[in-house]
Structure 1
Amino acid sequence: MKSKNTMDQTISIEKPKVTDGSLMWQLVSQSTLDLNSPYKYIMMCEYFSETCVVVKKNENLLGFITAFIPPKQQDVIFVWQVGVDPSQQGKGIASKMLAELLKRDVCKNVRYLEATVTPSNQASQSLFRGFARKNQKECVVTPCFPADLFPGEGHEEELTFRIGPFI
């Protein structure tokens, strides 16, 4: 999907290419998001491009989603990470990426969108609750991974946000 903004610069929402992996890593490395290895982002672009999304403006990465369909839950799209360039936050890019993802053929049997979010991550909570509300879907929040599962100190519990059903 491509659109034009008022400055006549092309904004695209598309499947990532393997070369987008390093751009994703760079965006995350300059944010408060959990930084995964560069390999994770490259791998997601290569092997899970059907379930990942990038937003670009003139080839500059503005945002991305990494996601996958769990092998044992074929009716779920699990959103692993949503990243938006700080200069673009609050403009609805994350919500547009989620909508684009759910429109894809790979998601034709998806009934639920899920993600895990820490209690302190108000931005992600707002994104998922707002997306559910906008799409008139239920958003159920349940415990997922308790804090004591994570090595070291300081990692909060993870809560599952489940939105749907979509079909």
Structure 2
Amino acid sequence: MPKDIENSATQMPHLRKPDTTDGADIWALVKACKPLDENSMYCNLVQADHFRDTCVVAEMDGEIVGWISGHMIPARDELFVWQVAVSPKARGLGLGRAMLRELIERDACDAATHLKTTITKDNDASWSLFRSLARDIGGELTDAPHFECEAHFEGLHDTEHMVTVTLPAPEAMARAA
């Protein structure tokens, strides 16, 4: 098929920092991406406002089809990724990994030596995404139980494993791109 008539769904969405006006659309995307935990719309508004330098929005044809919320952990050289959401419309494009790469290459994350996230053992898509990122950047991935089912969630949520991916120095990331 000629490039000029390719379906836009096969093209990589535009990646950018969120704006506060994105909050409602981010909330709707997260809500549609089961089994992600839903936050309040207000939480997503605050993330898009206060943490915009460590969050990523993916937009395709004017629609938000991807979202990463993250923040630098206070007093540590670690970036914590809270959620990764990819709309069914944009799955299969490598969007999750592209958004993670965008995030770790930002100036706001230059001090990060590790990326951290929590994943339940049964979330195969997330395990695959973060293993793929680790391979892609030459980082090591480790994990250990962190927020435990009984001790932290009163038996109402599966144990979340703290996943740690070592990050190369920014100049090494530039060479690997």
Could you say whether these structures have the same fold, taking a TM-score greater than 0.5 normalized by the shorter chain as the test?
A: yes
Q: Which runs of 5+ in 1 are unaligned?
A: none
Confirm or deny that 1:45 pairs with 2:52: no
Distance 1:19 1:7, change over 3 A: same
- 2:131 maps to what in 1? 129
C-alpha contact (below 8 Å) 1:63/1:93 kept by paired residues: yes
- 1:26 maps to what in 2? 28
CA distance in 1, matches of 2:156, 2:102: 34
- 1:166 maps to what in 2? 168
Identity of aligned residues (%): 34
Confirm or deny that 1:97 pairs with 2:91: no
CA distance in 2, matches of 1:6, 1:23: 26
Query: Shift of the alpha carbon at 1:7?
Result: 4.5
C-alpha contact (below 8 Å) 1:10/1:58 kept by paired residues: no
C-alpha contact (below 8 Å) 1:110/1:166 kept by paired residues: no
Paired residue for 1:62, among 61, 65, 73? 65
TM-score of the pair, normalised by structure 1: 0.90
String of CA shifts for 1:127-151, please: whole Å, max 9, x gaps: 0011101111100111211111344
Query: Shift of the alpha carbon at 1:19?
Result: 1.0
Deviant stretches of 4+, over 6 Å: none
Distance 1:25 1:140, change over 3 A: same
Q: Looking at secondary structure, tell me which structure has more strand per residue.
A: 1
- 2:140 maps to what in 1? 138
Larger Rg: 2
Q: Which amino acid in 2 is paired with 1:50?
A: D
- 1:79 maps to what in 2? 81
TM-score of the pair, normalised by structure 2: 0.85
String of CA shifts for 1:82-126, please: whole Å, max 9, x gaps: 000012122100000000001111111111111000111111011
Distance 1:106 1:38, change over 3 A: same
SS of residue in 1 equivalent to 2:82: strand
Q: Which runs of 5+ in 2 are unaligned?
A: 170-177
C-alpha contact (below 8 Å) 2:116/2:164 kept by paired residues: yes
Q: Which amino acid in 1 is paired with 2:52?
A: S
Confirm or deny that 1:12 pairs with 2:5: no
Q: Looking at secondary structure, tell me which structure has more helix per residue.
A: 2
Q: Which amino acid in 2 is paired with 1:40?
A: C
CA distance in 1, matches of 2:5, 2:83: 26
SS of residue in 2 equivalent to 1:128: helix
C-alpha contact (below 8 Å) 1:5/1:11 kept by paired residues: no
